[in-house]
Structure 1
Amino acid sequence: MKHIHPKDFVVTTAFSIKDAPTTIDIKASDTTKKNELAEVGKELGKLQDKMYANNRYSVLIVLQGMDTSGKDSLIKQVFKSFNARGVVVYSFKQPTSTELEHDYLWRHYIALPEKGKFAVFNRSHYENVLVSRVHPEIILNEHLPGIETVEDIPANLWEQRYKQINHFEKHITQNGTIVLKFFLHISKEEQRQRLLRRLELKNHNWKFSPSDLNDRQNWEKYQKYYEETINNTAHSHAPWYIIPADDKKLARLLVAKAILNELEKYNFHEPEVDEEVLENINKYKKKLENESPTEG
């Protein structure tokens, strides 16, 4: 298998979406990719346990991508070795009436992971500069001061939101949240094939929505705004990884390796054992060993 390193997929210079590959050949079979992912997953599971015990950091994984880019299946496969108590997945749909009574970042703030835990945002705060940009009428639901019609939306609103999102991510990273953001980059042709499969396979029909075709008509707009968004919000403290996602198995492996590579930098370790426990460990063992099975 061809050597791959997560740093090769991090945005460090001006990002051009048309120049970013949606597939790469790592000279590996599907079985090899699957086995490699299983090994990386085991290491992630061990690190998760250490991070949970360390109780100083949390991890936020942001997944963005066009419809059918494989976010759901990636979450299922990459995090399968995790302790269930240590990871929570949020799939952000249209805001509820309660959420719309707050600013657009509020529902994301309250979903942030606790110390020692992971949160996976399946779609995220970035929808507010992507979907809302393609469909600006969505902004009207936020009841912002001075905005009654789409024509009232100021030209600098999106620039303001980029700054707000950058401040949000800077704030949480400074307080112990490790932020990793992944754009699952698929080609328009691959999306067409995946949508066709949803229609052809009876047990996948439920995944299809006519809105998928409507958004497909806005493909070029989405590509433009993804490029702009990533260029405005890629930072060393909250990096964007551009993941070639036409091959789902490869995409899962690349995301898993990127998470592992980042977390290994922190050298997580379990907290020191209390001296009293260490000094009396044999006594405690003996007490338990001599305990009658019927006691209690």
Structure 2
Amino acid sequence: MIELHFEGAFIGKKVVITGAAGIFGTWIAQAFAAQGAKLLLSDIREQQLYAMKEDPLLQKVELLFHTTDLTQEASIADLAEFVAKEWSSADILINNAGVYHRHKLLEMSAADWDASFGVNVKAPFLLTQLLARQMIDDGKPGSIINISSGAALSTQIGGGHYSTGKAALSMLTRSFALELAPYGIRVNAVAPGFAPGSEVSELTGDYVQNMLTQIPLGRTSGPQDAPTAILYLCSEAASFMTGSTLTVDGGRTAGTFKSSGAQAGKQA
């Protein structure tokens, strides 16, 4: 029987995380830090990014920071050059950054569409391409994780551009998985569940309560849920997995579900 544990698996591993200052980015960084990894944290929000130095969980490991504008190819290239300068190449890339601004398709501009796809699809493409080349040049295997969403499977009014982008990211994951497999570089995706605080805009209590009624397991995503799936996919325990997406959403995308109360679907 195989036991899943990560003790010692990531000590000294070099991990790049985009969108690191957000809620999921912070959780992912903390998870890798707890395993002794070296971290290069990237985000456009410079103040929030550098404030991560004060996180007690992150102070125990080597930290590097890069303020990156993922809408600009030159900034993405600068991040890749920074990786090469500091590490030669990374072991793990987490394409976590994403944007979601609610727009109806009939009302949104081409510029809004391009801005959404620029961060959600084009940036992961460019960064994966650049960092994978570094891994190949160094002749070492690697792991790349794209952060997807249940929106890749179903959409809602005002989110068509986001859903289309996440669906494209799923196919990009599979395409890179095929092309990079000969080099020992695995490419997978994780689709986290709803977590209050993951949006840039403040969420009302009514909105959060309504979301809870749609989650069969009766709770929102927590600090260990998606990061544990990411650690698994980056570990040797998942050495035969590439081109896959792990959905960690409490069952929300499994089918139609509406509980009578927030705790109705909670299991012991």
TM-score computed with the length of structure 2 as normaliser: 0.43
- Specify which structure has the bigger relative contact order, considering alpha-carbon pairs within 8 angstroms and separated by 6 or more residues: 1
Higher share in helix:
1
